[in-house]
């Protein structure tokens, strides 16, 4: 995968001529609102709130971390926006309130955004969210869940019946929805995708991308993992590189008992339709690396 975001700095001002030089392109479509540079898995969105009078008056606005944006009248690029995660394409926003807000008609690079929804006839109205917001929400959700567990208690220690019920309920939730887990057990031949462990009670249905309803309970968005590895995966301590299927391991694990994962390779299901989505693996890998980068910056500032 080759991403334009690796060449740019969020918050910096870039002109289209500068971007042509950075991307080594003379493609004239960079002057349009939606540009996909050759050789990159990226789509660049150029947004000017107050359009010149000779331009189509699309209604666009960045409200904090949410972009309300209208697609093109022709709708030719709508599918790129809607399906960007499935295709492994990043969406990059270049934004200005008016043409000469910045010197040489430059744009502020706002970073990566993620499709949320769209509605209406051409031009469709899209809602996109800042990718960093997704990272923050993942961390917040984890912290909230931990806080709730501490406040409510896992179970009433004075009630063995309550303990038994809640323990089994926790196992069911952790192992995943029964149908989803069964499908993964079948696809991975009842063995952990990373270790080959065949002790079925400790094998869990892990979502590659976070659970967002029944439509995410598909085998290609799942991995069958040993319980401890599921925890590491969900806590952004390991990820899978979709190009090689090798395990990517957080620095803090590399001198632990989990150091063996560094040389690990994901064991794929035999049926192609059951193999993990490369786009989903890439989305998770980007999320994990964003978290690691944020933690590294926080550590450096201490």
Higher pLDDT, 193 or 73: 193
Task: State pTM to two decimals.
Answer: 0.54
Domains of the chain: 4-132 (2.30.280.10), 158-301 (no CATH)
Question: How many residues does this entry show for the chain?
Answer: 302
- What is the residue-averaged pLDDT of the chain? 84
Average pLDDT over residues 128-154: 61
Q: Taking a C-beta distance cutoff of 8 angstroms, is the pair 80, 34 a contact?
A: yes
Q: What is the pLDDT of residues 56-102, one digit of tens each?
A: 777 789 999 999 998 877 778 888 898 887 788 889 999 999 999 99
Which residue from 191, 19, 270, 96 is spatially nearest to 29, judged by alpha carbons?
Answer: 19
State whether residue 104 is helix, strand or coil.
Answer: helix
Higher pLDDT, 6 or 154: 6
- In this prediction, residue 238 carries a pLDDT of 95
Which residue from 123, 113, 132, 125 is spatially nearest to 68, judged by alpha carbons?
Answer: 125
- In this prediction, residue 144 carries a pLDDT of 56
- In this prediction, residue 169 carries a pLDDT of 53
Q: Which residues sit opposite 126 in a β-bridge?
A: 69, 118
Lowest mean pLDDT among 111-120, 155-164, 171-180, 188-197: 155-164
Q: Taking a C-beta distance cutoff of 8 angstroms, is the pair 225, 233 a contact?
A: yes
Average pLDDT over residues 204-213: 76
- In this prediction, residue 213 carries a pLDDT of 54
Q: Angle at which helices 278-301 and 131-152 pack, to 10 degrees?
A: 80
Answer whether residue 131 shows pLDDT above 70: yes
Q: What is the pLDDT of residues 229-285, one digit of tens each?
A: 999 998 889 999 999 999 999 999 998 999 999 989 999 999 999 999 888 898 889
pLDDT confidence bin for 155, thresholds 50/70/90: very low
User: What is the bridge-based pairing of β-strands 90-98 and 42-50?
Assistant: parallel
C-alpha pair distances (Å), 242 with each of 1, 175, 246, 286: 9, 24, 8, 11
Average pLDDT over residues 182-203: 95
Average pLDDT over residues 121-140: 75
Helix (H) / strand (E) element for 69: namely: strand 66-70
């Amino acid at each position: 995968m080759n991403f334009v975001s690796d060449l740019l700095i969020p918050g910096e001002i870039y002109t289209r001529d500068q971007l042509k030089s950075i991307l080594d392109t003379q493609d004239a479509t960079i002057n349009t609102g939606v540009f996909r540079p050759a050789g990159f898995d990226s789509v660049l969105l150029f947004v000017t709130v107050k359009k010149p009078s000779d331009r189509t008056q699309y209604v666009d606005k960045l409200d904090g971390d949410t972009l309300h944006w209208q697609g093109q009248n022709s709708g030719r690029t709508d599918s790129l926006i809607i399906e960007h995660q499935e295709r492994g394409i990043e969406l990059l926003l270049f934004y200005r309130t008016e043409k000469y807000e910045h010197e040489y008609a430059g744009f502020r690079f706002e970073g990566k955004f993620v499709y949320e929804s769209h509605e209406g006839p051409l031009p469709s109205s899209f809602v996109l969210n800042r990718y960093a917001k997704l990272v923050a929400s993942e961390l917040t959700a984890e912290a909230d869940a931990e806080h709730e567990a501490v406040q409510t208690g896992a179970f009433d220690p004075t009630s063995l019946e309550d303990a038994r019920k809640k323990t089994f309920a926790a196992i069911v939730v952790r192992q995943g929805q029964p149908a989803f887990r069964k499908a993964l057990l079948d696809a991975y031949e009842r063995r952990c995708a990373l270790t080959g462990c065949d002790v079925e009670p400790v094998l869990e249905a892990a979502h590659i991308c976070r659970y967002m309803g029944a439509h995410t309970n598909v085998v290609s968005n799942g991995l069958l993992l040993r319980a401890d590895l599921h925890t590491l995966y969900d806590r952004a301590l390991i990820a899978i590189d979709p190009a090689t299927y090798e395990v990517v391991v957080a620095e803090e694990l590399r001198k632990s008992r989990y150091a063996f994962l560094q040389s690990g390779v994901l064991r794929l299901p035999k049926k192609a339709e059951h193999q993990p989505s490369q786009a989903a693996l890439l989305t998770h890998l980007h999320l994990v690396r964003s978290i690691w980068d944020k933690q590294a910056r926080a550590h450096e500032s201490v």
